[in-house]
């Protein structure tokens, strides 16, 4: 066998093509995960050598009120903002699916926030919008509503400022639902009309079941991202007031890079990984109960 024949064998060729992925996966994912696992059992400030302390990081974590606080905030944020965003996206998609000359413009307008929403520019803007002297209060005053709310300084409103920012970015989910809606055969609806089904009945018996695979996929991906949200909290609130908006990943960042406790940060990362993996696993396990696959 000549070299060129050998290179052309499908097995060899396949490995040559994906070799970049394998190298990158090992270097930038597997090795860091391994390092993180080892460090989670150590006390490490990056300057001096790590010292092995067994399970102390984890023991400390479970007694750390800030850890529990940030965990609670993150769960609340993810479990409220992601479903809200999806419901909103589906509602607007149902409205925009109706064909009209302007629907392209509408789609673009609703989609714009999710294109720019994760930028620092919008985070900074949000901070000013909801400042006590910001545009939100000014507009509230204009229509005669109470306008002296310190949105970002009150413990019961600050997190909602971040949730509103997340829901505001429903545009890309809306686009996904729009193309999903267009793929549902019209004949299903026609048959339902002949059988005398009402609008809501059609929605719950045709539209929703047909969209469940798309909803499921987006729910999983967005929940993972929701649990890991960082920039918005870091820039807009910094965890204030009284840590009521302190996201888990921001606390992890503070522990590792501001208090120089890399070992503790790694241990926190592992707890989050286990929780997210468990949640994803549960969602997948329960998916055959509510996700409808046509092929079955």
Partner 1 sequence: MSARKNRTVIYHILVCLFGLVMIYPVLWMIMSSFKNSSEIFQNADSLLPASFKFSNYANGWSGFGGVSFSVFFKNSFVICILATVGTVISSAIIAYGFARCNFKFRNFWFGCMLISMMMPFQMIMIPQFIIFKKLNWVGTFLPLIVPYFFGLPFGIFLIMQFIRGIPKELDEAAKIDGCSTYGIFGRIILPLIVPALITTAIFQFMWRWDDFLAALLFLNKPSRYPVSLALKMFSDPSAQSDWGAMFAMATLSLVPIFIIFICLQKYLVEGISTTGMKD
One of 6, 25, 52, 204 touching partner 1 (CB under 8 A): 25
- Least distance in angstroms from the C-beta of 249 to partner 1: 5
- Least distance in angstroms from the C-beta of 118 to partner 1: 5
Q: How many residues line the site for partner 1 (CB under 8 A)? A: 99
Tell me which stretch binds partner 1 (CB under 8 A): 4-12, 62-70, 78-86, 194-202: 4-12
Q: State phi, psi for 52 to the nearest 5 degrees.
A: -70, 125
Residues 181-240 that bind partner 1 (CB under 8 A): 213-214, 216-218, 221, 224-225, 227-228, 230-231, 234-235
Q: State phi, psi for 49 to the nearest 5 degrees.
A: -65, 145
CA angle 72, 78, 81 (to 5 degrees): 125
Residues 112-171 that bind partner 1 (CB under 8 A): 112-113, 115-116, 118-129, 131, 133-135, 137-139, 141-142, 168
91 touching partner 1, by CB under 8 A:
no
- Least distance in angstroms from the C-beta of 1 to partner 1: 14
Tell me which stretch binds partner 1 (CB under 8 A): 54-62, 64-72, 153-161, 249-257: 249-257
- Least distance in angstroms from the C-beta of 276 to partner 1: 8
* Runs of H (alpha helix) within 27-64: 31-39, 56-62
62 touching partner 1, by CB under 8 A:
no
84 touching partner 1, by CB under 8 A:
no
The DSSP bridge partners found for residue 43 are 51
The DSSP bridge partners found for residue 52 are 42
* Alpha-carbon gap, residue 115 to 103, rounded angstroms: 18
Q: Counting Cβ atoms within 10 Å, is residue 70 exposed (0-12), middle (13-18) or buried (19+)?
A: buried
Q: How many residues does the chain have?
A: 296
Q: Which is nearer to partner 1, 116 or 282 (CB)?
A: 116
99 touching partner 1, by CB under 8 A:
no
Q: Which residues of 140-155 are buried (b: 16+ CB within 10 A; e: fewer)?
A: eeeeeeeeeeebbeee
């Amino acid at each position: 066998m000549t070299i060129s024949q050998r290179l052309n064998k499908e097995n060899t060729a396949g490995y040559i093509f994906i070799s970049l992925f394998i190298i990158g996966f090992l270097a930038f994912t597997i090795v860091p995960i391994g390092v993180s696992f080892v460090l989670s059992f150590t006390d490490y400030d990056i300057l001096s050598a790590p010292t092995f302390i067994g399970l102390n990081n984890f023991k400390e974590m479970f007694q750390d009120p800030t850890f529990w606080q940030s965990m609670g905030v993150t769960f609340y944020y993810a479990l409220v903002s992601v479903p809200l965003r999806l419901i909103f996206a589906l509602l607007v998609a149902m409205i925009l699916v109706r064909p009209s000359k302007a629907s392209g413009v509408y789609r673009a307008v609703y989609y714009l926030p999710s294109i720019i929403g994760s930028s620092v520019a919008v985070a900074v803007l949000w901070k000013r919008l909801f400042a006590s002297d910001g545009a939100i209060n000014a507009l509230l005053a204009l229509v005669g509503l109470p306008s002296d709310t310190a949105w970002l300084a009150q413990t019961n409103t600050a997190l909602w400022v971040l949730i509103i920012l997340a829901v505001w970015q429903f545009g890309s989910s809306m686009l996904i639902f729009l193309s999903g809606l267009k793929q549902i055969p019209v004949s299903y609806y026609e048959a339902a009309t002949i059988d005398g089904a009402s609008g809501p009945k059609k929605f719950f018996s045709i539209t929703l079941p047909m969209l469940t695979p798309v909803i499921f996929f987006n729910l999983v991906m967005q929940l993972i991202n929701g649990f890991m949200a960082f920039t918005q909290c870091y820039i807009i609130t910094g965890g204030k007031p009284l840590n009521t908006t302190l996201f888990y990943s921001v606390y992890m960042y503070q522990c590792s890079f501001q208090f120089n406790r890399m070992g503790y940060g790694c241990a926190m990362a592992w707890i989050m990984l286990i929780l997210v993996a468990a949640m994803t696993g549960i969602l997948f396990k329960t998916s055959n109960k509510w996700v409808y696959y046509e092929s079955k």
